[in-house]
Chain A
Amino acid sequence: MLKVNDLSKIFESGDLQVAAVNGISFSVPEGQFASIVGRSGSGKTTLLSLLGGLDKPTSGSITIDGQDISQLGDHALIGYRCRTIGFVFQGYNLVPNLTALENVQLPMEFAGLPKAQRQPRAAELLEQVGLTADKQQRKPGRLSGGEQQRVAIARALANKPKLILADEPTGNLDSQTGKMIFDLLHGLAKSQNTTIIVVTHDLEIAGKTDKTFRLKDGKLQKK
């Protein structure tokens, strides 16, 4: 269960204070697929950064399975990001000189998984997201956008995270591929009982999720 309570993030620029996230509270039960929609500058990415432990809130709390991550130190946050969170980015953000298989192994290496266990698990995950064995040895530059996003999803799943945060995962894909990626995420939420939160502009996609939150000027408006 993800529980967010009165969460705020205020950026200071000289004398000016900007509340990118302003007193947000919501919760997402385990295994649900939720979406956050909103215009550019509404605070979606900042919220995702706070949920992923990439940034620290100014006030409020984020609780995952009873642990308040807003109270964690930098070192503990690294462990949180490594074991509890999986990220899927709009631009895939794969390491260009590593193969698909090696990219998926990265989070496992950071989590300290023995080398002998990493490769079979990475291959299994890539199979699971639909990347065939012959493409697993390819570097990102030799994969299509949809294939790269599949690799990114496999990487996000590497350490069996409780929460997957996806920032515009279909933003760089054509509609057909985007639908396939969405279906893949949706299926994972159900099959692996993983909570998934997707930030998207696509209202059609948002409409198919279990829960949708609309952000406007840093505040939440339940749809």
Chain B
Amino acid sequence: MNVITRGVRNAFRNQVRSFSIIVILGLSIGLSLAMLIAHQAVGQKIDSVKASVGNTVTIQPAGFSGFSQVNNALSSSQLDKVKSVAHVNGLAEELTDRLPTTGSSLPSFGGRDAGSGSTTSLTSPVKLNVNGNGPAGGAKLFIGSGDSLPTNFSPPVSFLGTTDPTSVNGTNLTITSGKAIDGSVDGNNALISSAMASKNNLKVGSTFTAYNTALTVAGIYSTSSQGVNNTVIVSLPAEQRLSGQSGDITNAIATIDSLDNLNAATTAIKNTLGSSADVTSSIEQADQTVQPLNNVKSISLYSLIGAVVAGAVIILLTMVMIVRERRREIGVLKAIGGSNAKVMAQFVTEAVTLTVCGAVIGIALGVVAGNPITHLLVTDSNNPSPGGPGGFARAAGPVIRRGFGGGLRGDLSSIHASVGWSIILYGLGAALVIAVVGSAMASFFIAKVRPAEVMRAE
């Protein structure tokens, strides 16, 4: 029997209390580990997203959002000035629109698709997951309580007129059949996705209608993005002609010669276009995109600190209570020759024993719960608050709060938290910190116990 053995045995002196303390400590350490796992996973995701951004600058009409009515579209003459800005290597210009399927009804959206009167013969290949009730992997659509979709609702089809038909939203397209189109030449040729082709029984050379005009499928591309699957690509002059928006541009992407010049070029473009355009670099876009993840990272960090502090407070109060209960015993130990250090060592061992037992439970809990908690935090952070802007449609009638979020945002939810030895070591480290902090106050009280008190208590 020595100080360590005595301390370990004392930890289980009151078994019910010890069990309760160990469980509470286990929960505290488990939560802190789960938060650490989430913190690391989200941090890695943010780093990977930022590392993957290119050296591009996006230019949109000021205040333009999604498919809002374009009253202040950018003009080709404005963007010509951008081409002459230093370090700008190239400029892809786009005009976007969205058409409902002929014969379908849409909720009362604001924007062109609500009021232009144009339709298309195409049916969207997008599978809808309305309020979580739909096919797994389908585009999520949240509808406000009491609202409903029209019975003959079909998701509208996106049309993209672009000078660079080789990529959409930064995603390079792979043409699987047919050939690419020339983005600078006006013509009634279009590129459609393989999903769109399959849904509408189309192949290269087939025709479909849009804007009351017959368009020919020039090529079929493949992509894994739901949003891009739903997009028909035509040349910019064609889209401007078909949609009656001659000279209008809703989106332009400038490619900068190097990442080092990105900030300088972004500033120069802003100065060139003034208040008529919103100019954001790919880094700024990445920052905006990962903002929800940054929030999760902050929340997980604060929760981690909170859980460790809670654990330390629990063990601290427990040890203070134990020391107060055993004041006489401490006095006796000192009276028969025990030094402060030896008595403290016994109580610190007791605290460490409780904490290590809690850590074992906590590590197991953390390892099991780390991934689900990370997923829950990330999923919640990506759900916009009620009434917030939606990507699919703006609320005007029935509230559709979220639409086809786009590839990047969807990718943000796919975070896998890995649990390595470092996490377990962190867990044991946290337990050690908790035990030391928890024992500190107890040690102070032990040092204050005077052995003479045991005589007076007789």
A52 touches B335 (CB 8 A): yes
B337 touches A83 (CB 8 A): yes
A168 touches B458 (CB 8 A): yes
Q: How long is the Cα–Cα vector from A102 to B10 in the complex, in angstroms?
A: 14
List the B residue with the shortest CB-CB distance to A158. B336
A81 touches B337 (CB 8 A): yes
Interface residue A97 (Cβ < 8 Å from any Cβ of B): yes
Render B415-458 as a binary contact track against A, CB cut-off 8 A, 1 for contact: 00000000000000000000000000000000000111011101
Neighbour of B455 across the interface among A49, A75, A109, CB < 8 A = A49
Q: How many residues of A contact B (CB 8 A)?
A: 33
B454 touches A93 (CB 8 A): yes
The A/B interface has a contact count, at CB < 8 Å, of 74
Q: How long is the Cα–Cα vector from A142 to B450 in the complex, in angstroms?
A: 29
**A49 neighbours in B (Cβ, 8 Å):** 452, 455-456
**B179 neighbours in A (Cβ, 8 Å):** none
A167 touches B458 (CB 8 A): yes
A-contacting residues of B (Cβ < 8 Å)?
Answer: 1-3, 6, 9-10, 13, 328-329, 332-339, 342, 450-452, 454-456, 458
Minimum CB–CB distance from A166 to chain B (whole Å) comes to 11
Interface residue A89 (Cβ < 8 Å from any Cβ of B): yes
Minimum CB–CB distance from B340 to chain A (whole Å) comes to 8
Neighbour of A95 across the interface among B332, B339, B342, B456, CB < 8 A = B332
For residues 203 through 218 of chain A, which have their beta carbon under 8 Å from a beta carbon of chain B? none
List the A residue with the shortest CB-CB distance to B338. A110
**A95 neighbours in B (Cβ, 8 Å):** 329, 332-333
Interface residue A87 (Cβ < 8 Å from any Cβ of B): yes
Q: How long is the Cα–Cα vector from A95 to B298 in the complex, in angstroms?
A: 49
A82 touches B452 (CB 8 A): no
**B452 neighbours in A (Cβ, 8 Å):** 49, 54-55
Minimum CB–CB distance from A17 to chain B (whole Å) comes to 18
Q: How long is the Cα–Cα vector from A107 to B328 in the complex, in angstroms?
A: 16
B333 touches A91 (CB 8 A): no
List the B residue with the shortest CB-CB distance to A94. B332
Q: How long is the Cα–Cα vector from A211 to B2 in the complex, in angstroms?
A: 39
Neighbour of B335 across the interface among A79, A81, A96, CB < 8 A = A81
Minimum CB–CB distance from A80 to chain B (whole Å) comes to 9
Minimum CB–CB distance from B383 to chain A (whole Å) comes to 54
A45 touches B458 (CB 8 A): yes
**B13 neighbours in A (Cβ, 8 Å):** 97
For residues 85 through 103 of chain A, which have their beta carbon under 8 Å from a beta carbon of chain B? 87, 89-91, 93, 95-98, 102
**A102 neighbours in B (Cβ, 8 Å):** 1
Q: How long is the Cα–Cα vector from A148 to B237 in the complex, in angstroms?
A: 103
**B329 neighbours in A (Cβ, 8 Å):** 93, 95-96
B336 touches A110 (CB 8 A): yes
Q: How long is the Cα–Cα vector from A81 to B343 in the complex, in angstroms?
A: 15
Interface residue A1 (Cβ < 8 Å from any Cβ of B): no
List the A residue with the shortest CB-CB distance to B2. A109
Neighbour of B337 across the interface among A93, A105, A111, CB < 8 A = A111
Minimum CB–CB distance from A33 to chain B (whole Å) comes to 20
Render A22-65 as a binary contact track against B, CB cut-off 8 A, 1 for contact: 00000000000000000000000100110010110000000000
